[in-house]
Structure 1
């Protein structure tokens, strides 16, 4: 880090049922200036994305009850109905199967990362993608 907060004024919803993963992502993003809303399951995540219209969403694919694919479908449907620019969406998972990456992109995530997230890579990806979104 060079002291600059690359995610200043960026709202990010983090959805992960694993407390340590959710907390580490939250701390990492907040250290870069992001306003983070953390959710432990898809239902909480849907509520957060629909009520806050975030700049970005980081969502685990394997969640209890409803998975990350449910969340991204609800988010994308709401963005279309509200005529809003799509939030940057990153699927994050422990799965190494290429089918998960392909499905996540097909369902509406723009980016895919395997756990554990590499902090520098994730921050750079979000900063670039949110910057591009704001410029368009």
Structure 2
């Protein structure tokens, strides 16, 4: 574990259908001090996000059944209806096309990252986004 856990006790919902990627990302985030709920599909991810009201959501876009766009639409709708502060949302995908980035931002994700996620970049992105959210 790092000398300083950079993610403090941030609550993060991680949605990734690949078991190995999910486990490695969960371990990385927990080593940085985050409390992580990790699930494998958009339906469970939406329920986890609505139940836990996380500080951040990291979501693969290509998921079985329903995609990450479905999840972010449900989460944003819940936040608006409940007058809740929006969670930081990061789209994580193997697609590097500009159309995926633009659609992700348009659908409600604030950040977009292509796979494989580089641990240092991901943790820094989450840390910076959470710090910016705390200032607002």
Q: Does 1:78 align with 2:83?
A: no
Q: What corresponds to 1:30 in structure 2?
A: 30
The aligned counterpart of 1:100 is 100
**Is the counterpart of residue 53 in structure 1 residue 43 in structure 2?**
no
**TM superposition score normalised by structure 2:** 0.97
Q: Give unmatched runs, 5+ long, in structure 1.
A: none
**SS at structure 1 position matched to 2:63:** coil
Q: Where does structure 2 lack aligned partners over 5 or more consecutive residues? A: none
Corresponding residue for residue 69 of structure 1: 69
Over 4 Å off, 4+ runs: none
Q: How far has the Cα of 1:135 moved from its partner?
A: 2.0
Q: How many residues align?
A: 136
Post-superposition shift, 1:9? 1.2
Query: Following TM superposition, by how much is the alpha carbon of 1:2 offset from its aligned partner in structure 2, in angstroms?
Result: 5.2
Deviations along 1:84-109, whole A, 9 cap, x unmatched?
A: 11100000000121110110000000
Q: Which residue of 2 aligns with 1:7?
A: 7
**Contact 2:14–2:57 under 8 Å retained in 1:** yes
1:62-81: CA deviations, max 9, x gaps? 00000000000000000001
Q: Does 1:40 align with 2:40?
A: yes
